[in-house]
Structure 1
Amino acid sequence: MARLPAGQRREDFITAAVQIIAERGVHGATTRRIAERAQAPLASLHYCFHTKEELFLAIYEDMAATQLREGFHVREGSGLGRAAAGLLRQVAAWFGKEQTYAQAQLEMFFWVLRQDSDLAKRLYQVHLDMLEGLLRQGLRPDDDVKLVEVLARTIASVADGLVPQWLTFKDPVMRDTTVDVIAESLERLADAHRIPQVTAAG
């Protein structure tokens, strides 16, 4: 068996774990199955991830990094409302494309929530931090910065509801119509909270 760099081996284990969790659920994602899917020795998996919790956190971090790498973006200074609306549409489109990740995330999160509420908070915070960072890129001087956290949580909450709906119906019209209504509402909310700017007297 070819010897792979540690970083590549970790990526292989993460990909294998996501696939098996989506197929069999968390309880079916044994370390042996993950190692077999990754075509790697079981000892290598235990070397890369000492616990299942470490593996799950790595999956969430990898998911956030993948979303950023594959096109989640906000135009700098575009305005908080437009940034939130665009970001929600990007999140919905990504989960529609990456159904395996979407299924695995659902399976994994509720299992973690039952096992370790502190770890569940850490996992959820990974995505909130990513969303907040992107929204801040869109801030204009007259935007209310206090809305950033609220909008990030709202986008995450909407995505949480969209994922099971999408996996159940797989109806892009239903998904896009729902997303458009909420995206427009987020944009109006941010616009309604703009802070009047004082201009210097000429």
Structure 2
Amino acid sequence: MGRIPVEERRRALIAAALRVVASRGLAGASTRAIVTEAGMSLASFHYAFESRDELIEQLIPEVIASEELAILPDPVAGSMVDLLTDGLMGYLDHLRTDPAHEQAMLELTQYALRERPELARRQYEQYARIARVGLELAARHTRQRWSEPIDTVAALLLSLTDGLTLGWLVTRDDETAERVVKAAARIVAGLARPVKRGEGAST
């Protein structure tokens, strides 16, 4: 590949690793398989990462960052149901555009639960943070508050998203997935209440 900056090598290896994990599972994601997918040499790999484990740890934040861009609405406009629908539909579009990323994430989550529980916890802490940011943004925009603690609403949203992800990956049924998105948005929006004088816009 010639002489390219370290960060560019790292990005190429991360992208290749995600493709390999999605197609072969984590067990099949050897260093050699990853560099072959990336079109690099083993020497190039070790110039960018100290070990395969270091690379694997970078995969989860990489996928989460791309999901965050897809989910958070910009600009913010519409009712609570509109905002939640837009965010969930953005995630669904992201999933449909690159399902390999989410298949890889499922593999990585199972790996983390078995081998690195703290990595799995950090993964879901990041998911919860993204959900809270979106919910707080929606509440402020619509001048509403959450009738349940925002951590509870965020956990509900994550549970709905997990089900949406697995269901679509198994069935590839776009029509059903879009109906689920709209129903989920209505369910979560049902927990929002108008802000009364002196109250904040989120719980």
Residue 192 of structure 2: aligned partner: 190
Q: Give the aligned length.
A: 197
1:81-127, Cα deviation, whole Å (9 max, x unpaired): 65434322322222122211121111111122111111111122222
Asked if structure 2 preserves the Cα contact closer than 8 Å seen for 1:166 and 1:175, the reply is: yes
Match of 2:99 in 1: 99
Query: Counterpart of 1:31 in structure 2: which amino acid?
Result: T
Distance (Å, rounded) in 2 between the aligned partners of 1:139 and 1:30: 45
Which residue is 1:7 aligned to?
Answer: 7
* C-alpha displacement of 1:17: 0.6
Q: Percent identity?
A: 26
User: With structure 2 as the length reference, what TM-score do the two structures score?
Assistant: 0.82
Which deviates more from structure 2 when the two are superposed, residues 150-159 or residues 66-75?
Answer: 66-75
Match of 1:40 in 2: 40
Structure 2 counterparts to residues 88-127 of structure 1, below 5 A: 88-127=88-127
Q: Distance in 1 between matches of 2:125 and 2:187?
A: 24
User: Aligned partners of 1:35 and 1:98: how far apart in 2?
Assistant: 21
Q: 1:169/1:184 Cα in 2 relative to 1: closer, same or farther (>3 Å)?
A: same
Q: Structure 2 CA distance, aligned partners of 1:84 and 1:55?
A: 34
What does residue range 1-202 of structure 1 map to in structure 2 within 5 Å?
A: 1-69=1-69, 72-76=72-76, 82-140=82-140, 141-144=143-146, 147-191=149-193, 194-198=194-198
Write the letter of the residue equivalent to 1:139: A
Which has the higher relative contact order, 1 or 2, with Cα contacts under 8 A spaced 6 or more apart? 1
Deviation >6 Å, runs of 4+ = none
Q: Could you tell me how far apart the structure 2 residues matched to 1:3 and 1:145 are?
A: 56
Task: Return the alpha-carbon distance in structure 1 between the equivalents of residues 165 and 76 of structure 2.
Answer: 28
Contact 1:92 1:159 in 2 (8 A): no
Report the CA distance between 1:53 and its aligned residue.
4.4
In structure 1, runs of 5+ residues without a counterpart are none
Q: Give the root-mean-square deviation of aligned CA atoms.
A: 2.7
